[in-house]
Amino acid sequence: MLFNSNLFIFIFLPIIFILYHTLNYYRQINLAKVFMIFASFVFYAYFKYSLVFILIAYILINYIFYHLLMRYKSKLLLSLGIGLNLAILGYFKYKYFVIDNINNIFNLDIINPTILLPLGISFITFQQIAFLSDCYKYQRDIKTLVGGGILGFINFSLFVSFFPQLIAGPIVHYKDMMPQFKNPNNFILRYKNIALGLLFFTIGLFKKVALADYLAPSVDSAYAFVESGGVLNLIESWVLTHAYTFELYFDFSGYSDMAIGLALFFNIKLLYNFNSPYKSLSISEFWQRWHMTLGKFLKDYIYIPLGGSRVGKSRQYINLFIVFLISGIWHGAGWGFIIWGSLHGIAICIHKVYMSVFANVTWFKNRLNSKFYKVIMWIITFEFINITWVFFRATSINDALSVIKSMFLIHGQIVLSPNMQRLFQDNPLFAFGKWGEHFTIGQSAMLNAVLLMIAFVLLFRSSHLNIYKKFIFKDRYFILIGIMLIWCILKLNITAYTKFIYFNF
């Protein structure tokens, strides 16, 4: 079931909201939790009912390991639990990729049937790995929070299945989320949370429907054109890459905003996942602002256990590269994701070296806060991110390289006005090769949309945290929210519902 659908907005959500709060009002707290688990299973089953059995299996397996770790604080048990979770993820997500590459390398013909990828399996797996690790490190605290017997199983099942963050995060820790379900202050209707929930949900829905879905058809058409062997020209390639850069951001941050809003309807505060990442002045800053719960997971459970920055500069750079390589592999089973993760890992290392070399240079430190330096660093960072997203989106390495070649005129196709073409076509200084004459995929409207979104991202100053802290009840806010929500709903009834991009991961 999609957040951006009439079924969810007008039927599923109102029913869950009313019944859950009614049960809490009459102090049927545990029954309210059971009802939320059932509702989350229904939500998940709507995509394909058989997927619920995989979700239940995840819950049972990890609950068994929870009990074992509560009884025996054993690194072997922890390793087995983590290994089993990774094996399940590997089977569903990477089996086809691995066997396909073995067939290609060794010229074999191993039968490799396609397996349906369970939605959200990567997020669920990482969340369970974090939970088991916390069970080992904070044994007593986790036991107090989860409990035992039927009630413990209910609490844990709710933690895994809570529908707002089930499929695409944010990645949450048990100790951050589940105490909120036990807080008596959350058993009542809290109107500020409802208002804030509506605000976040509407902002997220607007990002998805008005921005991401506006860009998606042109992005899909352009990449389909490349997949069929077509070659983009200079303008088309740059418009395409920037369009996807913003489509991905507005799609995923839109989902995260909607998830935060939906959780607030039930008095649950989820962690924020984005903090204006495209304003970043370095690749390190970008990863402090983009998909923040994934970044925190990678830091806490991979980077620090590898030794972090405590093992010398050379080893630190290796650790950083490993973390981002794993991030690429986690995102998808394909060489494009591996290259994408590797490029970010290399860029992080280069930035660390760059900062350490010039850290004590007075001339350099005096210019760190200059506007010119910040603009240059923003352009470099943003365009590096923009280019690397090509490997993230393209269906093959050849397609990604084709787009990048077009961006840097290696294909030799550029679009100019007829007068400019006549001026330059006989001049050897501008003899790039074949002059492209089509600007069909990157229409001027698309170019205008991309430019407006750059301005929107740079000028919008309020972070989620500021909105939450400074929110006050004012009529003009609710009028604006109402207009946005009505417009989005009308848009939903004109165009087909589209799946969120990160459902694929």
Chain-centroid distance of CA 124 in Å reads 13
Catalytic residue among 331, 344, 351, 411: 331
Span between the terminal Cα atoms of the chain, in Å: 17
Q: Which residue has the tokens 């939903």?
A: 492
Apex 54 CA angle, 50 and 56, nearest 5: 105
**At a CB cut-off of 8 Å and minimum separation 6, what does 448 contact?**
none
Instruction: State the Cα–Cα distance between residues 368 and 353, nearest whole angstrom.
Output: 16
Contact 40, 110 (CB under 8 A): no
**At a CB cut-off of 8 Å and minimum separation 6, what does 199 contact?**
261, 467, 471, 477, 481
Contact 226, 413 (CB under 8 A): no
331 annotated active-site: yes
DSSP one-letter code for 402: H
Contact 342, 325 (CB under 8 A): yes
Cis status of the peptide bond prior to 170, with omega within 30 of 0: yes
Closest CA to 481 of 198, 138, 252: 198
Active site positions, annotated = 331
